[in-house]
Amino acid sequence: MKFELRSLAALSAAAMTFMGASAAYPAMQKDSLVASAADDTCDDWLHAKGSRLYDMNGNEVWLTGANWFGFNCTECVPHYLWSGDIDDMVRNIADRGVNVLRLPVSTELLYNWMIGDPDPIGSVNPNNDPSYPFNVDLLNSDGSVKNSQEVFDVLLKKCKQYGVKAFIDIHSPESNNSGHNYGIWYGKSFKARNGKTVEVTTDVWIETLAWCAEHYKGDDTLIGFDLKNEPHSTYGGAPVDAIWDDSNAPNNWKKAAQDCADAILDKNPNALILIEGVEGFEGHGAWWGGNLRGVAKYPVMPSSGTSQIVYSPHDYGPVVSPQTWFEKDFTEKTLLDDYWYETWAYLVEKDMYPLLIGEWGGRLDDGKNEQWMGILRDYMIKHHINHTFWCLNDDSGDTGGLWKDIQFSANRQDDGTVIGDTKIIWDETKYDTYYYPAIWKTLDSKKFIGLDHQTPLGVNGISLNDFYANYASKEGSNIDGGKKADGSIVEISTSPTGGDTDIFYGDANCSGEVKMNDAVLVMQALANPDEFGVGGTDDSAMTEKGALNADCYDPGTDLSNMDALAIQKYLLKSTTLPVYSK
């Protein structure tokens, strides 16, 4: 839940004034860096099995990306194209390790594309001069500005060139900078480009997404569709709440999502379908789009199966809105107990479906918001949860962005030509502390891992084929905190709470190794502490040392069934345990 506070007019005016002053120079087209040949084999589609995503070869992938909004707004174009060159920006995004972009759009935008009359956009080049080295890719040969769909196609081309994937998100029915406040996928009207007043019904919403799936099915740069941003309550003007059940009610998000998934997969069976939650389910509240409790009772079941389904909750910290689970000295365990586990985390903990946290992030406060961001960051890494950070833009009012400023400058050379360059200023503290650790990369060499089989992810990255051929078996990646392709775990030392240098996490019975007996002892000690707990009467009762070893899920907290589960998952080589002294 966020509010995109806007100062577009001032930003645009300032940007264009600056660029207009530079446009008087004699000019030539900007030289762009030569990238590897873009992969056009259309073989990068993904599918789900259990809680993981895989490529066509059965290799695990990890989507670690960011949001770039603007197509959903009245500008109908990604924000900051008035301040930066699209080639520079996408190249920089790839160089920073963003392997997928979530691109908010509106049903109105797709409708106008579908009828062949895309929305125009504002100027993205001083005087629309094809010879001036700024966004020349967004101009036609006569100097006119490309329309919104043409800009989208240029963006996909740039993503393909630099090894970045993308998926769209229906952020609102109509193009509206605050359209995310409206909680359902139908019920708004807009005046289409052909002059017709269009009411967004469920059928129109499905029709536009199915059209988009068919139109782009030959381009595996666009790998999926997030069906609706943050279904929620009547806040924002919706006539009814979005619900999740097994009814045929028009506001039943589960049924609408299933019908829409069927329509999309009929056109492109390889596309990922990202489904957000609702706000409330059976008396339990959540962030907008965050409540996936209903999946346990009423999963979305497309007719072709669930291999393309990814559930996509949103999660935010206390700077966005105070919540009861932040009213304590919270930890991973308390967040799981109070909110995360039953709301969405059970889907990965039980290996049911993949998750992609479609929005997370926030402002730095030196306090609880950063505490929450760090805990969620580590939980996503540990459980291989896909994610797209909210957001790149810094014009999101309650979260800010990974970018702090974008400036284009042009310099006249000795021969009279003009060379342009975009300076993108990142919030280095936010990036380094909270985003970079959760980007998919090799464990030792820190190479960013892309999702394209052929094209490396920017200048600092590698392709998917390169990773699995040359890195996976040697150093592995930060999936699951350090897992090699053969399933072996790269042990990463973590100093335990309390500093006991003899702790051997997972070894509950102090046998010198971790086995299923240890998980059994934990469960026995919890179920019958008088007999199997510390000081218990049974000969195999847990000792004080064993209790320290058994506290392996969230060291320093009370023993729980999560510790037994962590031991079992470790034995299945699907997670790591803290390692110390062994």
Q: Judge whether 316 lies within some domain.
A: yes
Distance CA(209)–CA(186), nearest Å, equals 13
| Chain position carrying tokens 């069927």 | 262
Q: Which of 4, 60, 108, 359 is catalytic?
A: 359
Q: Judge whether 178 lies within some domain.
A: yes
Residue 575 tokens read as 């997670």
CA separation (Å) from 338 to 153, 333, 424? Answer: 43, 8, 39
For residue 137, give the DSSP letter.
Answer: G
**How many separate domains does the chain show?**
2
Q: Judge whether 112 lies within some domain.
A: yes
Tell me, yes or no, whether 537 and 426 share the same domain: no
Q: Give 99-113 pLDDT, tens digit per residue.
A: 999 999 999 999 999
Tell me, yes or no, whether 287 and 419 share the same domain: yes
Q: What is the DSSP secondary-structure string of 19-56?
A: HHHHTTS---PPPPPPPPPPP-S-----EEETTEEE-T
Q: What is the DSSP secondary-structure string of 500-554?
A: -TT--TT-TT-SSS--HHHHHHHHHHHH-HHHHSTT-SSTTPPPHHHHHHH--SS
Tell me, yes or no, whether 250 and 371 share the same domain: yes
Asked if residue 349 has pLDDT above 90, the reply is yes
Domain that holds residue 77: 8-481
Mean pLDDT, rounded, of the chain: 88
Tell me if residue 230 is catalytic: yes
Q: Judge whether 106 lies within some domain.
A: yes
> Which region among 4-8, 67-71, 203-207, 515-519 has the lowest average model confidence (pLDDT)?
4-8
Residue 252 tokens read as 């039943």
For residue 345, give the DSSP letter.
Answer: I
Residue 555: which residues within 8 A CB-CB, separation 6 or more? 496, 497, 498, 505, 578
Tell me, yes or no, whether 411 and 548 share the same domain: no
CATH number at residue 200: 3.20.20.80
Tell me, yes or no, whether 192 and 43 share the same domain: yes
Q: Which of 458, 481, 504 is at the close of a domain?
A: 481
Q: What is the DSSP secondary-structure string of 371-439?
A: HHHHHHHHHHHHTT-EEEES-S-S--TTT--SEEEEEEEEEE-TTS-EEEEEEEEE-HHHIIIIIGGGS
Q: Judge whether 477 lies within some domain.
A: yes
Distance CA(397)–CA(576), nearest Å, equals 38
Asked if residue 379 has pLDDT above 90, the reply is yes
Tell me, yes or no, whether 496 and 570 share the same domain: yes
Across residues 337-356, what is the average pLDDT?
Answer: 98
Q: Judge whether 30 lies within some domain.
A: yes
Cis amide bond preceding 42, omega within 30: no
- Report the predicted TM-score, pTM, of the whole model to 2 decimal places: 0.80
Tell me, yes or no, whether 467 and 540 share the same domain: no
Q: Give 278-288 pLDDT, tens digit per residue.
A: 999 999 999 99
CATH number at residue 533: 1.10.1330.10
410 strand-pairing partners: 420
Q: Judge whether 499 lies within some domain.
A: yes
Across residues 538-552, what is the average pLDDT?
Answer: 88
Q: Give 408-439 pLDDT, tens digit per residue.
A: 998 877 777 778 899 999 999 999 999 999 99
Tell me, yes or no, whether 202 and 127 share the same domain: yes
Distance CA(167)–CA(175), nearest Å, equals 18
Q: Which of 75, 230, 276, 332 is catalytic?
A: 230
Q: How confident is the model at residue 187 (pLDDT cuts 50, 70, 90)?
A: very high
Q: Max Cα separation, the chain?
A: 90
Residue 210: which residues within 8 A CB-CB, separation 6 or more? 260, 263, 264, 266, 267
Q: Which of 481, 505, 540 is at the close of a domain?
A: 481
- Given this model, what pLDDT does residue 507 score? 87
- Given this model, what pLDDT does residue 538 score? 86
Q: Which of 441, 456, 481 is at the close of a domain?
A: 481
Query: What percentage of the chain carries pLDDT values higher than 70?
Result: 88
- Given this model, what pLDDT does residue 167 score? 98
Tell me, yes or no, whether 397 and 515 share the same domain: no
- Given this model, what pLDDT does residue 443 score? 93
Q: How confident is the model at residue 208 (pLDDT cuts 50, 70, 90)?
A: very high
Distance CA(504)–CA(518), nearest Å, equals 12
Tell me, yes or no, whether 323 and 426 share the same domain: yes
Tell me if residue 332 is catalytic: no
Q: Judge whether 2 lies within some domain.
A: no
Asked if residue 26 has pLDDT above 90, the reply is no
Intra-chain end-to-end CA distance of the chain, in Å: 44
Across residues 545-571, what is the average pLDDT?
Answer: 83
Q: Give 469-504 pLDDT, tens digit per residue.
A: 999 999 999 987 666 656 565 543 333 333 334 678
Across residues 177-193, what is the average pLDDT?
Answer: 97
Tell me, yes or no, whether 403 and 532 share the same domain: no
- Given this model, what pLDDT does residue 151 score? 98
Tell me, yes or no, whether 542 and 400 share the same domain: no
